[in-house]
Amino acid sequence: MDPIKILFDEHDIILDAIQTAKNLRKIIHKQETYAQQVFALISFFRAYADKYHHYKEEEVLFPEMAKANEMLESGVIQEMLENHEDFRELIREIEMLTKNLLLDEAQEKLEQYVEALTDHIAVENDEVFEIAKTLFSEKEMEKLYFRFKDLDAELGDKRKTELTQQLLLIKKSIEMLG
């Protein structure tokens, strides 16, 4: 019952989506198909990365870390929260550029997004999660685990699984088209 493992596992899936987003450049010349795949990835990032993953951090992990060590709140936690807001804004920009068929600009913005998200994941994996492991007792970690599980259940465990399967379909589609 390791809540940090849940977050690491979600990062692995998000990193797979990041690689898929990078591969989109291969099909940019197929405008309609490219746009469809961008919208599919936007949907994935909004639902999986933000709604499932960032939600756990924002509603459970970060507040608990701040309670355990107040100095973290204005440091690394604030940085991570600001990153989450930046990601939401970048996704909105990618969506607007794609809707307006400004595909080269959309791809540039998408690559900016995935680069920032990759860096963010590295900081969380290497720093934030390691700090969390030192802050909480085994019993506290167990409570975090069950709170994470409860959040997934509230949001829909089945939906989370479907999102992972949809990512695989997007990935295969891009590979076939590219």
| Per-residue confidence (pLDDT) for residue 106, from 0 to 100 | 97
| Per-residue confidence (pLDDT) for residue 123, from 0 to 100 | 97
90-106 pLDDT per residue, tens: 999 999 999 999 999 99
pLDDT < 70 positions in the chain: none
| Per-residue confidence (pLDDT) for residue 51, from 0 to 100 | 96
Token pair belonging to 132? 């969390």
| Per-residue confidence (pLDDT) for residue 13, from 0 to 100 | 98
pTM: 0.95
C-alpha span between 78 and 62 (Å, rounded): 9
142-165 pLDDT per residue, tens: 999 999 999 999 999 999 999 999
| CATH 1.20.120.520 matches 3-177 | yes
